Amino acid sequence: MMRKYSTCRFARRLCAAPLGAVLLLAVACQGSDDTGGGVGPPPPPTLDTQLRAQLSRWGVVPIGALTPARPEVIDLGRALFFDKELSGNRDVSCATCHSPLANTADALSLSIGTGATGTGSARTLGAGRQFTPRNAPTLLNVALGFPYMFWDGRVSGFGGPPGNSGQANFRTPAGAALPVGLTNVVAAQAMFPVTNRNEMRGEVGDHDVFGNVNELATPDTGQYAAIWSAAMKRVLAINAYVAKFNAAFPGVPTSSLGFQHAANAIAAFEGAAFTFTNSPFDRYIARDDNAISTEAKQGALLFFTKARCSSCHFGPLFGGQSFSSAGVPQLGPGVAPNAPLDFGEDLGFSGPQAQRFRFRVPPLRNVELSPPYMHDGAFATLDAVVHHYNDIEKALRSYDVSQLDARIQPLYRGDDATITAILNSTEPFLRQPLGLSEVELHQLVVFLRSLTDPAARDLSGLVPASVPSGLPVR
């Protein structure tokens, strides 16, 4: 069973957010395609009529604009996002793994954090380091307000929409150490990469790129307040940052600035830079019947009906609202305490074995642009993803490691016990083969590609020429 509570919670949130108004409008318009009322049998429903009925049913409505943050806040956030000064060893920025040159991800199945060399898929692990346990998700549309962050949902928030400060109620690994004043769940998320040893913080005894002792690595794991204050001390030692923080937060004395201000600025930048909601499918939702091809419409209809994708990927973002097990192969170093496996979902419940291997149902807008796919980057293409769904047991038992980076192939957990455990946890209705033909599988992929906003294809213009620390941007 899908956990319905999360759906209900999201529905409540939708009604509180600008999206909610649009949803209600769509519901009010439901059935406006009906042509009945005349004499004789009604004509058979057209493809558009059938598809529009499904869009209403699954809450697929146009997305409203974000309330823009002040330019000074976005400017600060952009500098911080690209600045390696935030990492203990001064060698990694947010953009290292969420690069505009790789559509806000890194083109790797599993990311590579501090201590490495190279960029993108040419990035090489440093001696004694390991891959991050999970795939770097795209940040496209991350600020639109889905309530769970990370593949396991360990950061969540059901507060007000971006820009609506003070109302949010967050759940994060930091518990009571989380400072107040975070504007939204994306800002709450931005508190954590700097605390992660593998991604940005580094290990005790590390030296930065200049040979200095890495002081950000000194606090024990879990000493969040100490890490955040060390990171702020670093940033505010740079005059250009003091000026940027003062411009962004004019009411806050420099001595009262905390990492939450940095996180709010980063989130404002993510919203301003990475929101892309003008895909052909958006124009179709806005009632332009000619915005997408017949093939894409056929794929969309399959998505909502025979292929059952919308049971999990529903709503304006086609996901983001619930957790489920889609029978994905396990690979990577795993996540404690279950390493080398990754049990996923971390919502603070302890459940029976059946609850293992559940991950956040990812939103699918612009999904074409951020391969590889799934929590561990197990699939290199959308074609591989739809073939997986068509017969999960068969796909899992014959998983093709050759689609993985050679360095990750040895980290595939393909033993019989693991595969059986994954299958046992998979959503029961997914265990039956879908029986889709190759033509239908292709139509599904054509539909998924119609969710791409063309403006998101080339984001290279977002990369600044330089950042306040003077460290290299790439």
Residues engaged in binding ligand HEC (CB under 6 A): 92, 94, 96-98, 111, 113, 132, 134, 136-137, 139, 142, 149-152, 186, 189-190, 193-194, 199-200, 266, 307-309, 311-313, 324, 326, 328, 359, 361-362, 364, 367, 373-375, 382, 385-386, 389, 427, 430, 444
Chain position carrying tokens 């080339």: 458
Instruction: Output the smallest distance, CB 299 to ligand HEC, in A.
Output: 9
- The letter for the amino acid at 240 is A
- The letter for the amino acid at 343 is F
Instruction: Output the smallest distance, CB 22 to ligand HEC, in A.
Output: 22
Instruction: Output the smallest distance, CB 421 to ligand HEC, in A.
Output: 13
Contact 352, 345 (CB under 8 A): no
Contact 178, 225 (CB under 8 A): no
Instruction: Output the smallest distance, CB 25 to ligand HEC, in A.
Output: 27
Instruction: Output the smallest distance, CB 28 to ligand HEC, in A.
Output: 28
**Which of 33/355 has CB closer to ligand HEC?**
355
- The letter for the amino acid at 52 is R
Structure tokens at 75: 């400017």
Residue 86: CB atoms within 10 A of its CB come to 26
Structure tokens at 247: 């411009």
Of 303, 283, 305, 301, the closest CA to residue 292 belongs to 283
Cβ neighbours for 311, distance < 8 A, ≥ 6 positions apart: 2, 429
**Which of 83/250 has CB closer to ligand HEC?**
83
**Which of 14/448 has CB closer to ligand HEC?**
448
What's the alpha-carbon Rg for the chain, to the nearest Å?
Answer: 23
d(CA 109, CA 375): 9
**Which of 61/191 has CB closer to ligand HEC?**
191
**Which of 255/344 has CB closer to ligand HEC?**
344
Instruction: Output the smallest distance, CB 474 to ligand HEC, in A.
Output: 13
Instruction: Output the smallest distance, CB 40 to ligand HEC, in A.
Output: 37
Instruction: Output the smallest distance, CB 423 to ligand HEC, in A.
Output: 13
**Which of 46/334 has CB closer to ligand HEC?**
334
Instruction: Output the smallest distance, CB 403 to ligand HEC, in A.
Output: 14
d(CA 80, CA 63): 28
Query: Please, what sign has the CA dihedral across residues 229, 233, 235, 239?
Result: positive
Contact 96, 106 (CB under 8 A): yes
Contact 94, 114 (CB under 8 A): no
Cβ neighbours for 394, distance < 8 A, ≥ 6 positions apart: 433
**Which of 13/134 has CB closer to ligand HEC?**
134
**Which of 285/448 has CB closer to ligand HEC?**
448
**Which of 40/139 has CB closer to ligand HEC?**
139
Of 241, 267, 268, the closest CA to residue 254 belongs to 241
